[in-house]
Chain A
Amino acid sequence: MMQLNEEEYQTMIKRCLRCSICKWIPQVQIKSQKYATACPAIDLYNFHPYSGGGKIILALALEMGRIKPSKDLRDIVYKCTECGNCAIACKFLGTLEPLEIIMRLREKLVKAGCGPMPAQEEYIKAVREFNNPYKEPHANRTDWLPKDIKIDHSAKVLYYIGCTSSYRRKEMAIAAARIMNKAGIPFNILQDEEFCCGSPILRTGELDTFKQVLNRNLDVIESKDIETIVFSCAGCYDTFKVDYPLYRNYNFEVLHTVEFFDKLLEDGKIKLTEKIPIKVTYHDPCHLGRNAERYEEWEGDVVQILPLITIDVPPKPKRTGKRGIYDAPRNILKRIPGLTLVEMERIREYAYCCGAGGGVKSAFPEMALNTAKLRIEEAEDTGAEVIVSACPFCSTNLKEGIDSRESDLKYYDISELMLMAMGLEPEKLKWLLSEVV
Chain B
Amino acid sequence: MLQKQILEEFQKIVGLENIDDSEVMTNAYSYNWCMEFVNCTEGKEPIPFSSIPKAVLLPSNTEEVQQIVRLCNKYNIQFKAQSTGLGPWNQPSSENCVIIDLRRMNKIIKIDDRSLYAVVEPYVSGAQLQAETMKFGLTVHMPGAGPQVSPLASATSMNGPGFTSPHTGHSARNVLGVEWVLPDGEILRLGSAGMKSNPDWYIGDGPGPSLRGIMRGWAGAKSGIGVFTKVAFKLFPYPCSTKFKLSGNSPNYEFEIPDFMKLYVMDCKSYNYLENVFLKIEEEEISFICSHLSGYGLGAIFSNSIESLMDKIPIAGMQVPLVVLIAARTKREFEYKQKVMSNIIDDFKLENVIGSKYTPNSLFYAEALRSNLGLHGFIATGGFQSSKGQCDTVKVCLKTTKMSIPLKKRYIKKGVIGNDFGEGVWITSYESGHYFHIESPTMFDQTEEKSVTGMAENMEENYQFDLLKHLGAPFFVEGDKMHDLFGPEMMDYHKWLRKIKKAFDPNGIADSGFYINAK
Q: Is A312 an interface residue (CB 8 A)?
A: yes
Contacts of A68 in B (CB 8 A): 23
- B412–A307 contact, CB under 8 A? yes
Contact check, A72 vs B24: say whether CB atoms are below 8 A apart.
yes
Which of under 10, 10 to 19, 20 to 34, or 35 or more describes the interface residues of A? 35 or more
Q: What residues of B have a CB within 8 angstroms of the CB of A49 in the complex?
A: 24-25, 28
Contact A36 B131, beta carbon cutoff 8 Å? yes
Assess whether B292 is interfacial by the CB under 8 Å rule. Answer: no
Contact B376 A322 (CB under 8 A): no
Identify whether the interface residues of A are mostly helix, strand, loop, or mixed: loop
Q: Which residue of B lies closest to A70 (CB)?
A: B24
Cα distance A306–B148 when bound, in Å?
Answer: 30
Bound CA–CA A311/B418 (angstroms): 13
Contact at B249–A348, with CB atoms within 8 Å? yes
List 21 A-B residue pairs with CB atoms under 8 Å apart, sorted by A's residue number. Answer: A17-B33, A18-B32, A18-B87, A19-B145, A20-B148, A27-B127, A27-B146, A28-B366, A28-B367, A28-B372, A30-B147, A46-B104, A47-B25, A47-B28, A57-B28, A72-B25, A73-B24, A91-B251, A308-B419, A315-B305, A321-B249
- Smallest distance from the beta carbon of B311 to chain A beta carbons, Å? 11
A58-B131 contact in complex given A48-B85, A92-B251, C-beta closer than 8 Å: no
User: Closest Cβ of chain B: how far from A52's Cβ, in Å?
Assistant: 13
Indicate if the CB atoms of B446 and A46 lie closer than 8 Å: no
A227 to chain B, nearest CB (A): 29
- Segment at the A interface, from B219-227, B280-288, B379-387, B463-471: B379-387
Which has the most chain A C-beta neighbours within 10 Å: B305, B310, B417? B305
Given known contacts A19-B148, A32-B131, A47 and B56 CB-to-CB distance under 8 angstroms: yes
- Interface window among A59-67, A145-153, A394-402: A59-67
Q: Compute how far the CA of A351 lies from the CA of B443 in the bound complex, rounded to whole angstroms.
A: 33
Candidate in A11, A46, A95 with the most chain B CB atoms within 10 angstroms: A46
Known contacts A54-B28, A67-B23, A70-B24; decide if A26 and B376 are in contact (CB<8 Å): no
A254 beta carbon closer than 8 Å to chain B: no
Chain A residues, Cβ within 8 Å of B18: 46
Sort A-B residue pairs by CB-CB distance and give the 7 closest, nearest first. Answer: A322-B249, A315-B307, A307-B415, A49-B28, A33-B128, A306-B419, A72-B24
B residues 2-25 with Cβ under 8 Å of A? Answer: 18, 20, 22-25
Q: Are A320 and B367 in contact, CB atoms less than 8 angstroms apart?
A: no
Q: Does A350 contact B (CB under 8 A)?
A: yes
Residues of the B chain whose Cβ atoms lie less than 8 Å from the Cβ of A61: 24, 27-28, 31, 49
Report the separation of the CA atoms of residues A72 and B23 in the bound assembly, to the nearest whole angstrom: 8
Residue B490 at the chain A interface, CB threshold 8 Å: no
Tell me if A24 and B378 are in contact (CB < 8 A): no
- Chain A residues whose C-beta falls within 8 Å of the C-beta of B25 in the assembled complex: 47, 49, 72
* Residues of B in contact with A (beta carbons under 8 Å apart): 18, 20, 22-25, 27-29, 31-33, 47-49, 56, 58, 84-87, 101, 103-104, 108, 124-125, 127-132, 145-149, 246, 248-253, 255, 304-308, 310, 363, 366-367, 370, 372, 375-376, 378-383, 412, 415-419, 443-448, 451
- A92 in contact with B304 (CB, 8 Å): yes
Residues on B with C-beta less than 8 A from A306 are: 418-419
Q: Are A23 and B148 in contact (CB under 8 A)?
A: yes
Q: Is the CB of B24 within 8 A of A308?
A: no
Q: Is A428 an interface residue (CB 8 A)?
A: no
Cα(A326)–Cα(B306), bound, Å:
28
How many angstroms from the CA of A29 to the CA of B415 in the assembled complex?
38
Give the distance to chain B from A84, nearest Cβ to Cβ, in Å.
Answer: 12
Tell me whether A14 and B146 are in contact in the complex, defined as CB-CB below 8 angstroms, given that A46-B58, A348-B249 are known contacts: no
Of B29, B84, B445, which is within 8 A of A20 by CB? Answer: B84
Question: Is the pair A311, B372 in contact by a Cβ cutoff of 8 Å?
Answer: no
Q: Does A334 contact B (CB under 8 A)?
A: no
**Residues of A contacting B252 with CB < 8 Å?**
322
Closest to A15 in B: B382
B23:A320 contact, CB within 8 angstroms = no
- Which B residues are CB-close (under 8 A) to A24? 125, 127, 148
Tell me, yes or no, whether A93 is within 8 Å of chain B by CB. Answer: yes
Contact A32 B85 (CB under 8 A): no
